[in-house]
Chain A
């Protein structure tokens, strides 16, 4: 699904955000990406989302070298990726329903299909009774779940989550992870960037650790916690 081949990313000021990354994420896999602040987690996600381009190496998404994709084709690739942001990034002047529906509106779905899918997605994240509310009336946990519903509404092949539990308490964080696991269970590839070590320690998934832009390998959660402490 995703393949990094000797990928490096550096900035004009000489900062090397990622160095010589080799990584392979299989279809249907759930992978956790961790590391300290500034380790390069968000940069890695940005490269997959083509918010930024790699400096060297090759990056494949579904066997397509996305670094060679032209600017006007980026939107089509992004439509296959569901993005969950740290602070939900909901449109504050739109209702929950409208927020979740936006990827479908972009793709030209008919209202009946939009309604069917939005209702199902909101039902899945437990917010079907709040579809007419504005985001401001929701708690952080609810906002994050709306963000997740929006991310999955277009049936993405990949979900990228950037610190999805960053603003949530432990219980809400666990619920969020549970939802992501459920989507993974139906075959969606999930890549989560997080530094919520106590939570990921309980998970049986592959954990990738970044340190100063280098991928220092796959670790199990217990080793990771010991090392970080």
Chain B
């Protein structure tokens, strides 16, 4: 080379050792992602807020339902389950059913009401005593009244026990003598399904939001990406900062969501306690547990990565140009 020549081919010490380079590339990716985030604060914060809201809605609803469910658990009433026996059942079969019922876990007490006993109780409590007394046959079946053990007194567990009892051979029907608990159970069930559907839709929303944000970035830097590829950059070199950016959005968005949920719970905790105390009951609102919060952040980060992955993958498939 004339006057000023470039330095000769460097020895290996000019480049980072492979292991060090491996970590440096990742550090570079993280710094690039953070840098991009800081360079565009308003759009970054807007995206974060949208992600946080999208994650707060299903998580908040699930937490709300957990609290509703624990209202059922906190209820100190003593529900019972009436089991109606098939009228064709023999005395021996009745003994078998009784034995089976008394051995079931979750059954605290068992009471047998014969058809005769049932009819006499009905006659005593009814306004149509004369009519009932004139009946040629007793139409009432034998009934077992099951009292569940105390810690089985929540709506979901009671319904599970009811279904188990109904499946016993010879029992034609079972009835939980706590209609509101039944309703609560179904409300919670509907709510749970709704929140899972919402969670799925909002998760998809988060993927799309982050994917779209990263897409806008890649479109903005389309020429730069093209040049870097022509200079010999591997796809991973280009992808990594964008993937990290997606993860960063998901991570920070879900952390913000966790914070919003805790603030909301703290806000309504006191009035809820006052309300519950007015019914002479004790109930404490559940916060999002620490592990739940970590899970939320993990899911958020994963969704962020997915959004970035699909967006960058599509971008890198676009044809290069000179």
Contact = CB atoms under 8 A, between A and B. Distances in A.
Nearest to A49: B230
B4 A123 contact: yes
Interface string A118-157: 0011011000000000000000000000000010111100
Interface residues of A, number: 40
Interface string A74-101: 0110110101011001010000000000
A154 B224 CA distance: 19
Nearest to A156: B232
B231 interface: yes
B320 interface: yes
B128 interface: no
Contacts of B231: 78-79, 83, 102-103, 106, 150
Nearest to B39: A93
B91 interface: no
A121 B1 CA distance: 11
The prevalent SS among residues of A at the interface is helix
Interface in B219-264: 223-224, 226-235, 237
Contacts of A154: 232
B16 A46 contact: no
Contacts of A46: 322
B1 A124 contact: yes
Contacts of A182: 1-2
Contact of B232 (A103, A110, A155, A186): A103
Contacts of A117: 6-7
A70 interface: no
B246 to A, nearest CB: 21
Given A103-B231, A107-B15, A116-B7, A51 B2 contact: no
Contacts of B25: 108
Interface string B193-233: 00000000000000000000000000000011011111111
Interface of A: 42, 45-46, 49, 51, 72, 75-76, 78-79, 81, 83, 85-86, 89, 91, 102-103, 106-110, 113, 116-117, 120-121, 123-124, 150, 152-155, 162, 182-183, 185-186
Interface of B: 1-2, 4-7, 9-10, 13-16, 21, 24-25, 223-224, 226-235, 237, 319-322
